[in-house]
Structure formats: C-alpha cells, structure tokens
Amino acid sequence: MPDTAPIPLRERSARNRSFWAWLLFVAVIGSWLRLDQFFTQVLIDDEWHAVHQLLKSTPERIALSYGYADYSIPLTLFYWWQAATFGLSESLMRWPMMVAGITTLIFLPWLTARRLDRWTAMGLAVLLATSPLLIAFSMKARPYALNVVLVWLSVWLFYRYYSPSGTKTGKRKWLLGLAYALVSALAVWTHLIVALFIAAPFIVETLRLLKRQAGERKARFICLFSLALPAGALTLALTLPPLLHDLNALVGKTHKHQLSLDTLIGAWHLWLGTSSALLTGIGLLMALVGAPRVFRRFPEAMAIGVGALLTFILVAVTQPAWINHPLVLARYLLPALPLALLLVASGFAQVARWTGPVPAALLFALYALALLVTSPLPELMRYPNSNKSHTALIYEFRPGKNEALDYMRQRPVPPFWRQLASRPAGSLTVAVAPFAFESYHWDAILTEPASGQRVIPGLLLGLCVDNRHGEVPDNARFRFANVAYLANPEDLKNRGVDYVLWQKPAYFGPAAGMTHKKLDGCDDKIRALYGPAVYEDDKIAVYPVSDASPGTKVQQHKESPP
C-alpha cells in the first residue's frame, strides 16, 4: 500500500533491509522443503525413461529422437556424460531440477518486487515456497522444474534486450542477445511443449507495434528480428534433427485423450495446492482481482499468460495422451503456475489497498495457512519418505479423485509392516522385491507410513534375471544409492538394509502377470541366500539381512499359501 508522506532515508533503508531479510527467510524455508530427504529418494515412474535410454541406446540415437516413452534430450545426454565420467546416481539426476526450483524461489519474487511492489512479491514468495507441485517437481528427474525457470528467464532476457533502455548498441546488448538465444534454445530443446511460451513475447510485442507509427514500428521490428534470428536458428538446429528423424515419436502420442471441465478444475486445485473447493474458489477470485494490475505493469507476466493460452489451445487441439488427467495438463502448463500464484498474491495486495495492510496481511496469512492444512505437503514431509516422486502423491488433490491411490489401496497392507511401527521412525530399511518402476505397482507410499521405516527397491539383476526394466546393473556407470542388489548380501549390509521382503504373485493378483514376468524361481534363490523367513503369509515373505534384524521382535508368522 503506497505511503502518503515521504519516508526518511534512514527509515527507507531499514525497510529495505527488513524486506529482503524476510524474502530470504521465505526462500530458505522453501529450499528446506525441497531439500528435505533429497538424497534418499527412490527413482520412480517416468524418471526411468532416461535411464532406459542409457542402458539400451547411444548418445547419437538419444539426440535424434524424443522417444515414445518421452525423455528430455539434453538431460539424458547430460546423464550419459555423468554416467561415463563418475557414475550416475539418483541425486545426480535430480540436481539440475533442484537448482532450478530454488532459483525460482529467489528470481521471481525479486522480479515481482521490481515490476509491481513488495507486498505482492512477499505473497508470491510464500505461495511459491509452499507449492506442493513445485516442491515435488524440484525433486523429480524430469524437466518440469527446469521448464519454469528457463521460460521465465528467457522472457525476462527478452524484455531486457527489447525495452527502450536496452536499445543502445554495445557489448552489453550483444551479451543480452546471446544469453537470450542460449536460454530460449535450451528451454525448447529440454521440452518442446514450452515453445509457445518462448514465442509469446514476440507475438505480444508484434501486435503492439501494429498500433505504433510507421517510423517507430520499423526500428522496433528490426530489434525484434535481431533477437529472433539467432535464437530461432539455434533452436531449430537443436530441435529439427530429432523432429525430422523421428516425428512419429511425437505424432504417435496425439489424438489420444480429450480435455474436460473436470480436467481444468483438477489442474487449478493442483496449481493452488489444495483439496478444498472453497480455497480454490477464493484463489480464483483473488486472481481475477489482481490480474488487471499484473498484466498492465508486468510485461513478462503478460507474455507468460499469452504463452499459457496458446499452449492450452495447442493441447486442446492435438489431444495428447493422458491430457484428460489434471496432472498432465498442470505440468504441460507448469511455467504458468507461478503466474497463477502471482495473480493471487496481487489480488491480496489489491485488498490491502482497500482495507489497509494489517487486515489484508491477516487474511493472506489465514489463506496461506489453510492452503497448507488442505495440501499434501504434510504427507510429502513425512519422515521417512523415500518416495516423494511417487505419482500418487500429486496425482490429484481433490477428495475421491486420486485414481492411482485408489487402485493401490485395493492391495491391503500386510500385518508385517505395522509390526515394524514399534521401532523408532527410520531406524530400519526394508528392500522390497520385485520392484516395479511404474508407481501404481510400487506401494511404498502405503507401507512406509504404516511401518514408519524406510522402503527401497530390491533389485534382482545378477540373482535371477540378467535384464529387467526398472533396474540398473551394479557397475561403475550406475552408483544408485537408494536401491539394494539382492544378489549381494554383503552389499545390503553395507547399505544398512535390515530386511529383504519378497512380494508373491498373490499380492498383486491379476497384475502379477506384469510385475512377475520372467521371475520364476526368484523367491527360491532369495530364500537360499538369506535363510528362513522371519515372517511369511500368502502375500509376502520377509528375510533378515543384518545381525540386528532378529532383535526387532517381528512376530514370527508362517502360513501356507492357499
């Protein structure tokens, strides 16, 4: 809320320091939420697409296709280099997204403070820091968090170059143009879906030029062209080869599913991070209140908004696979998520102009707290939680709509897991086999909270299979920290694994045809290595690994399968 009287220089300086200190504090909290248990996370779902390419493909082939099981070309090539240089791990796969997620916490509130005001910047900082979707994607080895920061950085560099103060010639202008070309090309190469976000500022500014006088229009067109030419050339150089070489990898995923109103409502819940229809309605109202001011004074926000609209139209027309699921739409449009939160924060800033800063601050604090209470953030922050990238945790936020979790709950949690809950949280580690990298067959997000203990994949390579999707060999190229190679009991002890748990085909029911494909005899080999089971029923068999395991007082339970 603007002051009505001049503020003394000393007081202004103190306010500046206080604002930036609070902004830094919020960024630290947001970083902590993202880094919590970062190094203990299991690789799951689409994160394996890139790993499978490393196992079966070459850098040349990776660079020439986006893959039907899609992967980010530059990220996968980066993983290849890391694997060949010092061995790839789960954390090494994820660190670019973590850096991007933390950068977003700092860059966007800073930019908002410059474009709008500090009230809105602080509100945005809080909403960014606690956004469950942004937290989850900062920990996921997929390009989504990278998309967000690259798109916003690209649009910001565009306006740094294109603004009247940036029209002067010289080294600074040349460096801005080069930085823009590199960031924009990398963004599109990383994930093609952001191409319209990158093109949006050109579209917006071209339309504005049509209203200007001819002389001024020509000079500004030349400025736009000088920025578009190198960036476009570099982008085409990186993206055309895979498009021309394997266009079917993309075309084959179109015209599969359709958007619906339910998709849009679910995506808005995901973006605001709440299960509450009331809170999403309030968020929408605040966004509408704050939108005119944002789009009038924040050129980057206007461009992001146009990019989101164009991308939405594109996916509505092309109907890509799974776009009917809110999570897919939410991540396709993820660069616009900070814009949605910015509009909400701007709405509360407008309320501050009507009511005064104190009532508006209280209203915002209550709203932010209500978002936290109705969000999946408490579940994400549970300890131990080695499976934060599990799709079911962010699949849907609306009650009764999480089909992935409902499907998994059809398999009851065996009593063994609840027996472990008497031990201190996180004091035991259980390696579960067979591991299924498709998360709907990996029940760790149910068994970890039931037991209070850490659950990681037990890999079968070298024990009873030579090759299996969702497993990596134990060699110098792969140094995965959050798996256990069951063929090597000594390695399990070194990794702190206490139990090996074998999930029998009966546990999965009809789905066992997929989860246990070519795994006949694996359970016998586990029994031969680890000795008698300390717990067994018709669904699972549990074997001790470390010397400490018998002291856990797990109830001995033997039962012949029906």
Q: What is the pLDDT of residues 354-365, one digit of tens each?
A: 999 999 999 999
Residues 247 and 309 reside in one and the same domain: yes
91 part of a folded domain: yes
87 part of a folded domain: yes
What percent of the chain stands above pLDDT 90? 86
Residues 124 and 213 reside in one and the same domain: yes
Q: For residue 559, how many other CB atoms are within 10 A of its CB? A: 10
Overall domain count for the chain: 2
**What pLDDT sits at residue 476?**
94
- Per DSSP, 41 falls in state P
Q: pLDDT tens digits for 183-212?
A: 999 999 999 999 999 999 999 999 999 887
First-to-final CA distance of the chain? 71
**Phi, then psi, of 352 in degrees rounded to 5:** -60, -30
Among the candidates 339, 372, 405, a domain finishes at 372
Instruction: Calculate Rg over the CA atoms of the chain.
Output: 26
Q: Residue 471 is part of which domain span?
A: 393-552
378 part of a folded domain: no
**What pLDDT sits at residue 547?**
53
243 part of a folded domain: yes
How is 400-414 classified by DSSP, letter by letter?
A: T--HHHHHHTTSPPP
453 part of a folded domain: yes
Residues 198 and 267 reside in one and the same domain: yes
pLDDT at 333 over 70: yes
Q: pLDDT tens digits for 259-293?
A: 999 999 999 999 999 999 999 999 999 999 999 99
**b/e map 11-42, b = 16+ CB within 10 Å:** eeeeeeeeeeeebeebbeebbebbebbeebbb
Q: pLDDT tens digits for 463-488?
A: 999 999 999 999 999 999 999 999 99
Residues 189 and 301 reside in one and the same domain: yes
1 part of a folded domain: no
Confidence band, pLDDT 50/70/90 cuts, at residue 169? low
Residues 30 and 61 reside in one and the same domain: yes
Residues 356 and 494 reside in one and the same domain: no
pLDDT at 167 over 60: no
CA-nearest of 366, 341, 375, 299 to 109 is 341
Residues 426 and 543 reside in one and the same domain: yes
- Per DSSP, 426 falls in state T
Confidence band, pLDDT 50/70/90 cuts, at residue 68? confident
Among the candidates 372, 402, 418, a domain finishes at 372
State how far the Cα of 378 lies from the Cα of 393, in Å rounded to an integer.
Answer: 11
State how far the Cα of 21 lies from the Cα of 133, in Å rounded to an integer.
Answer: 26
Token pair belonging to 476? 């110098």
Is residue 186 within 8 Å of 74, Cβ to Cβ? yes
**b/e map 461-480, b = 16+ CB within 10 Å:** bebbbeebebbbebeebbbb
CA angle at residue 391 from 65 to 366, to 5 degrees?
125
Q: pLDDT tens digits for 402-417?
A: 999 999 999 999 999 9
Residues 444 and 304 reside in one and the same domain: no
Mean pLDDT of 103-128: 96
Confidence band, pLDDT 50/70/90 cuts, at residue 215? confident
Q: What sign does the dihedral 69-73-75-80 (CA atoms) show?
A: positive
pLDDT at 309 over 60: yes
Among the candidates 320, 341, 372, a domain finishes at 372
State how far the Cα of 192 lies from the Cα of 149, in Å rounded to an integer.
Answer: 15
pLDDT at 325 over 60: yes
State how far the Cα of 477 lies from the Cα of 472, in Å rounded to an integer.
Answer: 9
Q: pLDDT tens digits for 514-549?
A: 999 999 999 999 999 999 999 999 999 999 996 534
pLDDT at 550 over 60: no
Residues 421 and 317 reside in one and the same domain: no
Q: The pTM is what?
A: 0.93
Residues 349 and 463 reside in one and the same domain: no
**b/e map 97-110, b = 16+ CB within 10 Å:** bbebbbbbbbbbbe
**What pLDDT sits at residue 395?**
96
Residues 64 and 204 reside in one and the same domain: yes
Confidence band, pLDDT 50/70/90 cuts, at residue 7? low
**What pLDDT sits at residue 156?**
97
500 part of a folded domain: yes
Residues 344 and 441 reside in one and the same domain: no
**Phi, then psi, of 540 in degrees rounded to 5:** -140, 160
386 part of a folded domain: no
List the beta strands (DSSP E) in 189-251: none
Confidence band, pLDDT 50/70/90 cuts, at residue 249? confident
Mean pLDDT of 428-443: 96
